[in-house]
Amino acid sequence: MQDTFSFSSTTISSTASGLILLYFLRKCWSSKPRPPLPPGPKGLPFIGNLLDFPRKQFVLTFLQWGEQYGPITWVMVPGRKFLIVNSYEAMRELLDKRGSNYINRPQSVMVTKLMKTDFTTVRLQGEARWRRHRKFLRPALSLNTVKQNYSDLFLAKASGYLQAILHKPDNFHHSLRRALGETISELTHGAIKHQDGTDYVTEHEENFAYSKRAAMGYLVDLFPLLRFIPSWFPGAKFRRDAQKWGQHGANLRKMMIEGVEQRMATNEGRPCYVSNMLEDLQKLESDTGEDIREDVQAVHDSGFSFYQGTSKILDQTATTLKNFLLAMSLYPDVQARAHKEIEQFFVEGRSPDFSSQDQMPYIRAIVLESLRWNPPVSFGVPHTAREDNFYNGYFIPKGTTVIANQWQVSRDPMIYDDPSTFNPDRFIDNPDILDPRDFVFGFGRRICPGNSLAYQLTWIFVVSILWGFEIQRPEGCPPLERDADRFDFGLIRYAGSHFLIRGRLADYETFSTPYPFPCTFIPRANITKGNAPSSV
Ligand code: HEM
């Protein structure tokens, strides 16, 4: 008994001294100065850098910060910490090499929670549901699948666009969105209209307008507790709007899925992403008895994500093509060379197709330059840090929103000489130059799964338009020499009034597009009204 007691007291005293030692060691360790936060503009008490955020042309301010503070800049607003990355090397290091730490997305209360868009691929956190989406998207959007399954659809839509320009040349911006919207709708859900006549493309445009408004930045994003205010409460219009806008998306999603199911039941309509995946799953279920419910949900959600959430797919591809059209009107020499290359393959009634794609280096260079000249998602889709992290001796706390300023890469003179000039030759003269697809489609595990599709679709539109038309800038239009006169850099035009912050805290999934510009389309010998390219 005595022995036991003395043993216990020794144990207790040594445990106690051990704990005390540990306490002091920890104290010493934790009082060791933590590396500093990255440099950045000095903020104000309470509101941090809110006033440093520009109201428009965000990337240009981000670029200035890059020049002043180096590759990474730290900024804060209430409740949010941002790391703006202004160097390709740092983007690769953080988002690619340490991709598992930067796999999440920031969650906007208004768009994600109140509008209930957290099912879309782009907004999901990097967890099981998101992995399930990517599992279906990967094979469906691979280059091989795109070439085999979607080439005819792309050709038909490009041809339809030429006819639209012939008939209503002034409407070319609108008909471009229409052609791309139809392409995506047919590709994902096999139709552009519901059985009851509802036009999916028009509905998606409406839905997109709602998302854009919601993404403008609401007070509830600064003070998330506001989301618990009942929607009937005075001043809670944001809740009623979110409900209405979210419901519009939910109804549309339901309608589009029902449309696919009806067509599958009657063997009508063209095969599409959703029907192909559902057929595979149904086969799996009947062969193995596997529970496919979560997979079916992932197909429904990822199919709709082509539009919702990532509805910018349409905008991004449209922007790339608008970049191209603007460039053709500003750089006639480039256009003349492109016409020459096309004439080697597609003349005398032979309309464009993909058969000579590999033999047309100048067209490839034009497509790449259209992506680089004005990266459509000018400062990327943000990622967030899952854990504390260090870079170049700076501390990046858990939860930081990381913004990769793609515009900076596109204008880095160390990478691209004379970067504001549209110069496809840079890709021909220097085959080792950075391929813009290595940054305009994002980074790491969240990298855009649609990059091959986007490239192929852009390519056939570019060739078809050049085959059919000569593009001119109308006489008397100003020459647009500066980037700031050409591109809006993520400016969202929204006339509605906002609380304190109008646009300063806009959701950061904005994208840059050319300001509206006029073009004259002169039909070439190849094309006449009613003469659609023969291959479609
Ligand atoms: C020129 C056209 C396009 C550009 C510039 C573009 C760019 C991007 C970028 C920058 C991201 C975010 C990547 C990141 O988080 O680092 C993204 C995400 C995404 N893109 Fe694209 N994209 C384009 C077209 C498309 C197309 C045609 C599709 C589908 C057919 C598509 C599907 C997606 C999806 C589903 C995501 C979300 C990925 C995720 O969060 O896991 N994109 N895109």
| Distance from the Cα of residue 155 to its chain's centroid | 24
* Average pLDDT of the chain to the nearest whole number: 86
CA distance 285 to 82: 45
pLDDT of residue 64: 93
Atom 17 (ligand 1) nearest CA: 448
Tell whether the model's pLDDT for residue 238 goes beyond 90.
no
Nearest CA to ligand 1 atom 41: 446
Closest CA to 156 of 461, 378, 366: 461
CA of 441 to the centre of ligand 1 (A): 6
At 217 the pLDDT is 66
Q: Which residue type is seen at 142?
A: S
Mean predicted confidence (pLDDT) in 461-467 = 97
Least confident of 151-160, 214-223, 325-334: 214-223
For tokens 């750089």, what's the residue?
Answer: 331
Please name the residue whose Cα sits nearest to atom 19 of ligand 1.
448
User: Which residue puts its alpha carbon closest to atom 31 of ligand 1?
Assistant: 450
Q: Whose CA is nearest to atom 29 of ligand 1?
A: 450
Mutate to test the pocket of ligand 1, among 134, 185, 310, 320 (most ligand atoms within 8 A of CB): 310
- Please name which of 324, 325, 320 lies closest in space to residue 376, comparing C-alpha atoms: 320
Predicted pLDDT at 1: 38
Domain 107-378+416-529 classified CATH 1.10.630.10? yes
Q: What is the mean pLDDT of residues 414-419?
A: 97
pLDDT reported for residue 11 = 53
Among 92, 176, 320, 448, name the best residue to mutate to test ligand 1's pocket (greatest count of ligand atoms within 8 A of Cβ): 448
- Dist. CA 440 → ligand 1 center (Å): 9
Closest ligand 1 atom to the C-alpha of 457? 27
Top mean pLDDT of 240-254, 289-303, 310-324 is at 289-303
Most confident segment among 310-314, 428-432, 485-489, 505-509: 428-432
Ligand 1 atom 35: residue of nearest CA: 121
Q: Which of 404-413, 443-452, 499-508 has the lowest mean pLDDT?
A: 499-508
Instruction: Grade residue 218 by pLDDT with cuts at 50, 70 and 90.
Output: confident
Q: Is the pLDDT of residue 311 over 60?
A: no
| Residue 496 near residue 314 (C-beta atoms within 8 A) | no
Nearest CA to ligand 1 atom 20: 448
Atom of ligand 1 nearest to the CA of 141: 30
pLDDT confidence bin for 3, thresholds 50/70/90: very low
Place of tokens 């800049």: 73
How many whole angstroms from 142 Cα to the centroid of ligand 1? Answer: 13
Question: Do 403 and 61 form a contact (C-beta atoms < 8 A)?
Answer: no
Distance from Cα 108 to the centre of ligand 1, integer Å = 19
CA 64 to chain centroid: 23
Q: How far is CA 48 from CA 34, 41, 52, 74, 216, in A?
A: 21, 9, 9, 11, 19
CA of 313 to the centre of ligand 1 (A): 6
State which ligand 1 atom lies nearest to the alpha carbon of 440.
Answer: 5
Domain spans of the chain? 107-378+416-529
CA 23 to ligand 1 centroid distance, Å: 49
The string of DSSP letters for 67-117 reads: HHH-SEEEEEETTEEEEEE--HHHHIIIIIITGGGG-B----IIIIIITT-
% of the chain exceeding 90 in pLDDT: 65
More confident residue, 9 or 104: 104
What sign for the dihedral angle of Cα 203, 207, 209, 210? positive
Q: Exposed, middle or buried by CB within 10 Å (0-12, 13-18, 19+), for 108?
A: buried
**535 falls in which pLDDT band (50, 70, 90)?**
very low
What is the DSSP annotation of 111-146?
A: IIIITT-TTSTTTS-SSHHHHHHHHHHHHHTSHHHI
Q: How far is the CA of 360 from the centre of ligand 1 (A)?
A: 26
Nearest residue by C-alpha to atom 14 in ligand 1: 442
**Ligand 1 atom with minimal separation from the 376 CA:** 5
Q: How far is the first Cα of the chain from the last one, in angstroms, to the nearest whole number? A: 97
Mean pLDDT of 173-189: 94
Q: Is 477 annotated as a binding residue?
A: no
Which residues surround ligand 1 with Cβ inside 6 Å? 121-122, 137, 141, 305-306, 310, 313, 316-317, 320, 376-377, 380-381, 383, 440-443, 446-450, 453-454
Q: 449 alpha carbon to ligand 1 midpoint, in Å?
A: 6
In the predicted structure, residue 10 carries a pLDDT above the cut 70: no
Quote the ipTM score: 0.98
* pLDDT tens figures, 375-393: 998 888 889 999 999 999 9
- In the structure, what pLDDT confidence band is assigned to residue 491 with cuts at 50, 70 and 90? very low
Q: Over 50: is that where the pLDDT of 506 sits?
A: no
Higher pLDDT pick, 94 / 80: 94
Cα 43–Cα 48–Cα 50 angle in degrees, nearest 5: 100
- Interval between CA 447 and ligand 1 midpoint (Å): 7
